[in-house]
């Protein structure tokens, strides 16, 4: 495997005409959001079964199970701020050095940091759709979800304000197709620099995206990454914020 010094990474970003970023849970752990599947994740600490929480047929049968998870998740992230790396990516986009971000996360921290072109493969809580009348609610935040759950009857299921039907956040559940995968694949195949940040690449189809390009790929993530070595791939096993603070110094 090939390591990569921050100065070299900065030079690659400066040289690139089309940089694309793919992010996973690791970019948000420094903000205080535990990896769902990690030792301190909600799946483990609250004993949630992900197959039940995020399985679409189970959601329609027993939505209270998903909403119990949502109550914990929203309460965990409502006061959390984006990390240095989130902000770094937003600044690179603003400076014209970054084409866009593809994320597996549902925490909306990229948008809070100021990123504009964000493809949310797994959706997020920023919008929701009524399962009865199909009304869509947009520009939602965690405070809205928390207030809606508090004001609902127990269990804390959120209903459509228009018809009273079951409201589902626009999050991709098991049994549903991911969002905008074709667009994400096109972004990656057209880039000349791909940054994979905080992802172990063990969840499909996001894990397939790096195979869509022969461009230089820099993977910065703690632990094992499910991507084979290649002359154009550079693996950095380091804390994201520490690494990109160094990269930012060289860019400046």
Is 86 a catalytic site residue?
Answer: no
Q: Which two tokens stand for residue 193?
A: 């620099």
The residue among 102, 98, 115 whose CA lies nearest residue 179 is: 102
* Residue given tokens 């990123």 in the structure block: 115
Distance CA 232, CA 214 (A): 7
- The catalytic residue among 57, 110, 122, 250 is 122
Residues noted as catalytic: 122
């Amino acid at each position: 495997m090939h390591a990569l010094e921050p100065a070299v990474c900065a030079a690659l970003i400066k040289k690139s005409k089309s940089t694309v970023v793919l992010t996973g849970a690791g970019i948000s752990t420094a903000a205080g959001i535990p990896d769902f599947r990690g030792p301190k994740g909600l799946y483990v600490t609250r004993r949630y079964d992900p197959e039940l929480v995020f399985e679409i047929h189970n959601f329609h049968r027993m939505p209270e199970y998903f909403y119990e998870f949502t109550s914990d998740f929203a309460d965990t992230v409502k006061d959390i701020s984006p990390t240095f790396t989130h902000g770094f990516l937003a600044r690179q986009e603003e400076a014209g050095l970054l084409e866009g971000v593809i994320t597996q996360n549902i925490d909306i921290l990229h948008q809070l940091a100021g990123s504009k072109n964000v493809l949310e493969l797994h959706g997020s809580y920023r919008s929701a759709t009524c399962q009865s009348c199909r009304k869509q609610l947009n520009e939602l935040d965690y405070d809205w979800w928390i207030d809606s759950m508090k004001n609902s009857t127990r269990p804390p299921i959120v209903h459509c304000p228009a018809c009273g039907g079951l409201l589902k956040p626009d999050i991709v559940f098991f049994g549903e197709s991911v969002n905008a995968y074709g667009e994400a694949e096109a972004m990656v195949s057209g880039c000349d620099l791909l940054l994979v940040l905080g992802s172990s690449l063990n969840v499909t189809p996001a894990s397939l995206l790096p195979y869509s390009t022969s461009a230089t790929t820099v993977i910065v993530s703690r632990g094992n990454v499910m991507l084979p070595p290649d002359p154009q791939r550079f693996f950095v096993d380091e804390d994201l914020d520490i690494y990109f603070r160094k990269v930012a110094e060289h860019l400046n």
